[in-house]
Amino acid sequence: MANFVQDFAHGSMEQKDLLGGKGANLAEMTRLGLPVPPGFTITTEACRSYLRTGAVPTDLRVEVTRALRHLEDTMGRRLGDFHEPLLVSVRSGAKYSMPGMMETVLNIGLNDASVQGLAELSGDERFAWDSYRRLVQMFGRTVLGIEGSVFADALEAAKVARGVTADTDLTAQDLRELTEEYKEVVRRESGRDFPQHPREQLDLAIVAVLDSWNTERARLYRRRERIPDDIGTAVNVVTMVFGNLGSNSGTGVAFTRDPATGQGGDYGDYLPNAQGEDVVAGIRNTLPLSALEEIDHEVYTELRTVMRRLETHYRDLCDIEFTVEQGKLWMLQTRVGKRTAPAAFRIAAELESERVITMDEALTRVTGEQLSQLMFPQFDREAERTLLTTAMAASPGAAVGRVVFDPRTAHEWAERGERVILVRKETNPDDLEGMIAAAGVLTSRGGKTSHAAVVARGMGRTCVVGAEDVLVHPEDSTFTVAGHTVAQGDVIALDGSTGEVFLGEVPVVPSPVTTYLTAGLEEAVAQAGEDTETVQLINAVDRILRHADAARRLGVRANADTGEDARRARELGAEGIGLARTEHMFLGERRQLVERVILAADDAERDAALADLLPLQRADVTDLLEAMDGLPTVIRLIDPPLHEFLPDLTDLAVRVALHKERGASGPEVERDEVLLAAVERMHEANPMLGLRGVRLGLVIPGLFALQIRAICEAYADRRAAGGDPQAYIMVPLVGSAMELHLVRDDAMRIMAEVSAERGIAIDLPVGAMIELPRAALTADRIAGAADFFSFGTNDLTQTTWGFSRDDVEGAFFAQYTVNGVLTVSPFESIDQRGVGRLVEIATEQARAAKPGMSLGVCGEHGGDPESIRFFQDVGLDYVSCSPFRVPVARLEAGRAAV
């Protein structure tokens, strides 16, 4: 016979795949000898069979009969018996918790006859009718698909007619009439009578629960939570116990620790004289769990013993559902409870202190995402606030500032010390300057992987995206939302953790965890002062993070382009720089110089322009090497296509056309014309696949040489100043070993020159950024010319998939997620089978060609938990991510190692 039904007495918590979470835990509690009402679980295997065939398997009907008979024998009662009826609940329960997504029906087995039996059995007629009317209501809604409000309206009407406000004030007679009315509703709305036969009720309820696996909202929830669609739900059939049998009965939920703060002690809500769903539905105000102590001391003590037992057994925070029936405690559910980020750290650390779990386990109980949540400043929840809208939370943080609509203004205002929020329909690379200057970014379009979101996350800027009801009018520098018009200069506040946008100032409270990470334990504890909860949180984070650092095998470096970023990264625990982008050094004021390089009429002019860039570049590198003294600093030569440093083609063309129309002349006009010609000449259909990276370096004479010289001179300067610079030269977009050989030869020559000039030995490692499939596939050859590799997984993802990030994120990816081609953006988490396979191949080849060669990752993926795990398994030496992600990566690398 198929494995379709299993008694609670025979299962265990290991069987979540088969029994679902609820069923497995009910079985476990039964096994522990805790007071669980007897019952059985219809397995997920039965559900999968039902989903495949669309019909209830005959085997299932037979197995249910056997299990039900066994249950009836155990209880000494029959389902729906006229005299001593057995009643059951039919409860959904998948492997992964899907709160509120699926159905549960209580009081199955009641009908016109057995309601009398229940009244006799309990000696409480009111209770019997209350249970029956609940069944008709739940069954009507869940099984027969009748709108819940129809029943709710009837109940309201009954209360009004009797002049009472609480359900509990309705008499037995009132409830009997209400039940009749409900049955009438069923007849009217569903076109059939409420089924009187208990077994028919049971079978229909089981099918309804199975069907609830595939409701629209359940599917949506699974997609969002990345729960597979084909695992199915289990169905639990549980003997009913009654919390609505008078004042010595009741129902409640409880936690073994506070899931909000992690504080030890029992927490929960209790509702006397009620059935389970009343607590969640908020029908009446609940009492705190401690009130049960007054109501029934014995039950309270037993409950606390059970809770302690569960926590010891599960070795974690448990949440439970329980019911008290006339002074007898029944356990109806337990599971390892969800918790907030601070609670996760505190619970893990405190369970370890109590020697319930080991330090390794404590580490696995927290996530990098939770740590990053703890790092951002937060808005003061107590403060008065005007909510404008709630959109997508793209990059956490709490940012307050004046609204600006263009990057120039953002930059100018920030220069004079204003905090600004950049508001755009969407952002593109031209907005970078503005995004750097802004405290936060708000866009009306785009999703979590839009340009704004990705860039803001990388920079640690607060960002809210896709605020569709925000209408941005850049022409008159305003936006409108929810009846408000917000003008340039008005103050707004963005909560990047919730996606909320507020009008006006909202006070911000700094994160004590960030204080800890940057200033150290002592300082953070001193600042927390009397606030013991915060002190405990900081201590918890400290202990767990230190353990992660001790355990991890991967190094963690930062992507940082300036000395300031590098210092910050170092404070946050970076063990070097995995990627310093030099193109950032060509922006701003220096654009003019770059223009001169590009527009140079001959070699002499170009060399002069390059010579002017040299001291600037050298100063940048010196700053970086000083900040990272003693630690490896990988400096990547210029990567993007040159036109990115020039004005926009359309803007320029318009300007030149205007000059012409007005008959203007002079040096300004001439310059624009020359510039336009250059921009046109350099215009590429696919710049991403065009003249960039090493190609540019080989084609524009002197450009790489300038950068390499700047690095060597900075190195020499730092050495002369008594420092310990560890500069690495990285060549971007290498596709062929020959490219790297050419650059390397040049680098060797320049190193020799500077060595001679400065009188010190300079032998800096030269390596390749592996970001083209061809590079990965010929890594053994490239390794011949490289001292190190770093995987540029952003570009490697683009070039492997053949799509450009800026063009496909947003609507296209959204569609691809809906139809299941993608479960997650490959730019967020590495595509292990495709892009990851290339990393694997290249790693194998590199290790074979040059054992011990340094291999790292410097793409966005370096800060992503799943990807970090993958990189460790592949055997890389380090990951590199944005400074703000460094603590996250440290923690995740530790988790990956235990």
Query: Which of Mg ion, ligand ADP, none is residue 91 near (CB under 5 to 8 Å by kind)?
Result: ligand ADP
Contact 39, 26 (CB under 8 A): yes
Strand order in the sheet with 484-487: 471-473, 478-481, 484-487
> Which residue is it, tokens 């060595």?
755
Q: Does 514 bind ligand ADP (CB under 6 A)?
A: no
Smallest separation, CB 254 to ligand ADP (Å)? 12
> Which residue is it, tokens 């080849």?
845
Q: Is 258 left (phi over 0), alpha (psi -120 to 50) or beta?
A: beta
Name the active-site residue from 451, 547, 659, 861: 451
Residue 795 assigned to a binding site = yes
Which residues, 276 to 315, sit near ligand ADP by CB under 6 A? 276-277
Q: Which of 71, 94, 106, 349 binds ligand ADP (CB under 6 A)?
A: 106
Instruction: Please give the residue whose beta carbon sits closest to ligand ADP in the complex.
Output: 276
Could you tell me which stretch among 109-117, 274-282, 305-313, 800-808 binds ligand ADP (CB under 6 A)? 274-282
At residue 380, what is the residue type? D
Angle of CA points 780, 785, 790, to nearest 5° = 70
Active-site residue, 858 included: yes
Q: Which two tokens mark 811? A: 């609507």
Q: Which of 333, 462, 514, 829 binds Mg ion (CB under 5 A)?
A: 333
Q: Does 93 bind Mg ion (CB under 5 A)?
A: no
Which residues, 230 to 249, sit near ligand ADP by CB under 6 A? 238-241
Q: Which two tokens mark 196? A: 């009187």
Query: What letter does residue 334 receive in the DSSP assignment?
Result: E
Could you tell me which stretch among 40-48, 272-280, 639-647, 863-871 binds ligand ADP (CB under 6 A)? 272-280
Looking at beta carbons only, is 207 or 600 nearer to ligand ADP? 207
Query: Which of Mg ion, ligand ADP, none is residue 206 near (CB under 5 to 8 Å by kind)?
Result: none
Strand order in the sheet with 264-272: 287-288, 264-272, 250-257, 318-325, 328-336
Which residues, 2 to 41, sit near ligand ADP by CB under 6 A? 37
Smallest separation, CB 245 to Mg ion (Å)? 20
C-alpha pair distances (Å), 850 with each of 136, 779, 780 = 74, 11, 8
List, in sequence order, the alpha helices (H) in 663-804: 667-682, 693-699, 703-720, 737-758, 773-777, 779-783, 793-801
Could you tell me which stretch among 202-210, 328-336, 596-604, 641-649 binds Mg ion (CB under 5 A)? 328-336
Which residues, 458 to 487, sit near ligand ADP by CB under 6 A? none
Residue 581 assigned to a binding site = yes
Contact 350, 343 (CB under 8 A): no
Around Cβ 602, how many Cβ atoms within 10 Å?
7
Looking at beta carbons only, is 241 or 441 nearer to ligand ADP? 241
Q: Which residues contact 120 (CB under 8 A, 6 or more apart)?
A: 83
- SS3 of 91-137: the string is EEEECCCCCCCCCEEEEECCCCCHHHHHHHHHCCHHHHHHHHHHHHH
Looking at beta carbons only, is 41 or 333 nearer to Mg ion? 333
Smallest separation, CB 555 to ligand ADP (Å)? 44
Looking at beta carbons only, is 105 or 598 nearer to ligand ADP? 105
Smallest separation, CB 775 to Mg ion (Å)? 11
Smallest separation, CB 266 to ligand ADP (Å)? 18
Could you tell me which stretch among 100-108, 285-293, 408-416, 751-759 binds ligand ADP (CB under 6 A)? 100-108
Q: Does 335 bind ligand ADP (CB under 6 A)?
A: no
> How many residues line the site for ligand ADP (CB under 6 A)?
17
Which residues, 720 to 779, sit near Mg ion by CB under 5 A? 771
At residue 401, what is the residue type? G
Residue 309 assigned to a binding site = no
| Interhelix angle 532-551/512-519, nearest 10 degrees | 50
Q: Phi first, then psi: give them for residue 167, nearest 5 degrees.
A: -55, -40
Residue 53 assigned to a binding site = no
Looking at beta carbons only, is 81 or 595 nearer to ligand ADP? 81
Q: Which two tokens mark 757? A: 């000039």
Around Cβ 168, how many Cβ atoms within 10 Å?
15
Q: Which two tokens mark 870? A: 């993958």
Query: Which of Mg ion, ligand ADP, none is residue 395 near (CB under 5 to 8 Å by kind)?
Result: none
Q: How many CA atoms lie within 13 A of 186 on its CB side?
A: 23
Report the candidate in 740, 729, 641 with the shortest Cα–Cα distance to residue 691: 641
Could you tell me which stretch among 191-199, 275-283, 310-318, 433-441 binds ligand ADP (CB under 6 A)? 275-283
Smallest separation, CB 99 to ligand ADP (Å)? 7
Smallest separation, CB 111 to ligand ADP (Å)? 18
Looking at beta carbons only, is 726 or 790 nearer to Mg ion? 790
> Which residue is it, tokens 């923690």?
891
Residue 188 assigned to a binding site = no
Around Cβ 837, how many Cβ atoms within 10 Å?
14
| Interhelix angle 563-571/512-519, nearest 10 degrees | 100
Instruction: Please give the residue whose beta carbon sits closest to Mg ion in the complex.
Output: 795
> Which residue is it, tokens 């963690």?
556
Active-site residue, 313 included: no
Report the candidate in 848, 734, 856, 840 with the shortest Cα–Cα distance to residue 780: 848
Query: What letter does residue 243 receive in the DSSP assignment?
Result: S
DSSP string, 419-479: -EEEEESS--GGGHHHHHH-SEEEESS--TTSHHHHHHHHHT-EEEE--TT-EEEGGGTEE
Name the active-site residue from 659, 858, 861, 881: 858
Looking at beta carbons only, is 276 or 810 nearer to ligand ADP? 276
Looking at beta carbons only, is 250 or 276 nearer to ligand ADP? 276
Smallest separation, CB 230 to ligand ADP (Å)? 21
Smallest separation, CB 185 to ligand ADP (Å)? 22
DSSP string, 677-700: HHHHHH--SSGGGSS-HHHHHHHS
Looking at beta carbons only, is 269 or 542 nearer to Mg ion? 269
- Reported in sequence order, the residue ranges of 576-636 that DSSP labels E, i.e. its strands, are 577-581, 632-636
Q: Which of 243, 735, 773, 792 binds Mg ion (CB under 5 A)?
A: 792
Write b or e for each residue in 448-458: b if 16 or more Cβ atoms lie within 10 A of its Cβ, otherwise e.
Answer: bbbbbbbbbbb
Looking at beta carbons only, is 15 or 323 nearer to ligand ADP? 323
Query: Which of ligand ADP, Mg ion, none is residue 792 near (CB under 5 to 8 Å by kind)?
Result: Mg ion
Which residues, 52 to 91, sit near ligand ADP by CB under 6 A? 89, 91
Which residues are part of the catalytic machinery? 451, 858
- Residue ranges of the annotated binding site for Mg(2+) are 771, 795
Give the annotated binding-site residues for substrate. Answer: 581, 636, 771, 792-795
> Binding residues for ligand ADP, per CB under 6 A?
37, 89, 91, 100, 104, 106, 238-241, 275-277, 321, 323, 332-333
Residues interacting with Mg ion, by CB under 5 A?
333, 771, 792, 795
